[in-house]
Amino acid sequence: MNILVTAGPTREALDPVRFLSNRSSGRMGYAIAAAAAQAGHAVRLISGPVALETPAGVERIDVVSAQAMADAVQAHVTWCEALVMAAAVADWRPATVSPAKLKKHAGTLTLELERTPDILASVQPLKGARIYVGFAAETGDPEAEARRKLAAKGLDLIVANDVSRPDAGFEVATNAVMLIDSDGSLRQIETAPKAEIASELVTWIEARAKQA
């Protein structure tokens, strides 16, 4: 299969030296790209800025901002049979980007933020028989929130994790997730290395592709 994976954070510039971003390390998405390539699939990885090596056999496309990631996904999605959106895309960006470094001054500074494009929503018209997998990083009730996102974003599967746990989510090598299928079924994977969760996910994608 041709599998398109996104990973890592995005950076939203405020000025030439400052940006807004998040704690995503890219590890989960990179583990998925590696597992998919190891299983013999053709893999393209659209990556935000991370400190990770490109997995063997993976074609990597580097981007910085949410808009650039949206453009790259749009450009590559028709190539793929499965899209895995593991990236932690920034939800807001500064409404204006200063061309010069903002000068420090006394008192407070108010930033105006605007929404970034919703990438999964933007590629929904291209879905057809493609398999779309999303992620939901939650700190509240991960199952309820993930089920809502699965339906709202028209996904085949959502991988939900509770990022408030110390052994799951951002910046750690392990994760504990729930795989929630559009058929309603839920599978819990207890704390495991991200590589193991990644290969379970690839197995799920292969099985779903066979059903089509």
Does residue 50 sit in helix, strand or coil? coil
Does 119 contact ligand C5P by CB under 6 A? yes
Does 47 contact ligand C5P by CB under 6 A? no
Query: Are the C-beta atoms of residues 179 and 155 closer than 8 Å to each other?
Result: no
Q: Is 22 a catalytic residue?
A: yes
* Of 24, 47, 65, 116, the one binding ligand C5P by CB under 6 A: 116
Distance CA 163, CA 91 (A): 17
Does 89 contact ligand C5P by CB under 6 A? yes
Q: List the structure tokens of 130.
A: 């493609």
* Of 66, 77, 178, 205, the one binding ligand C5P by CB under 6 A: 66
- Pick 13 or 57: Cβ nearer ligand C5P: 13
**Minimum Å distance from CB 86 to ligand C5P?**
6
Distance CA 101, CA 85 (A): 33
- Pick 20 or 57: Cβ nearer ligand C5P: 20
| Vertex 164: Cα angle to 160 and 168 (nearest 5) | 60
Q: Pick left, alpha or beta for residue 154 (phi over 0 → left; psi -120 to 50 → alpha; otherwise beta).
A: left
The active-site residue out of 2, 22, 161, 175 is 22
Does 136 contact ligand C5P by CB under 6 A? yes
Does 163 contact ligand C5P by CB under 6 A? no
- Pick 9 or 55: Cβ nearer ligand C5P: 9
Size of the site for ligand C5P (CB under 6 A): 13
| Vertex 19: Cα angle to 16 and 20 (nearest 5) | 165
| Sequence-distant (≥ 6) Cβ neighbours of residue 76 within 8 angstroms | 4, 44, 46, 61
Q: List the structure tokens of 62.
A: 């580097």
Residue 74 is which amino acid?
Q
The backbone torsions φ and ψ at residue 41, rounded to the nearest 5 degrees and listed phi first, read -85, 155
Does 130 contact ligand C5P by CB under 6 A? no
Instruction: With contacts defined by CB under 6 A, name the span among 28-36, 46-54, 112-120, 204-212 that binds ligand C5P.
Output: 112-120
Instruction: With contacts defined by CB under 6 A, name the span among 36-44, 113-121, 171-179, 180-188 that binds ligand C5P.
Output: 113-121
- The residues that are catalytic are 22
Residues of this chain that interact with ligand C5P (CB under 6 A) are 66, 85, 87, 89, 91, 116, 118-120, 134-136, 149
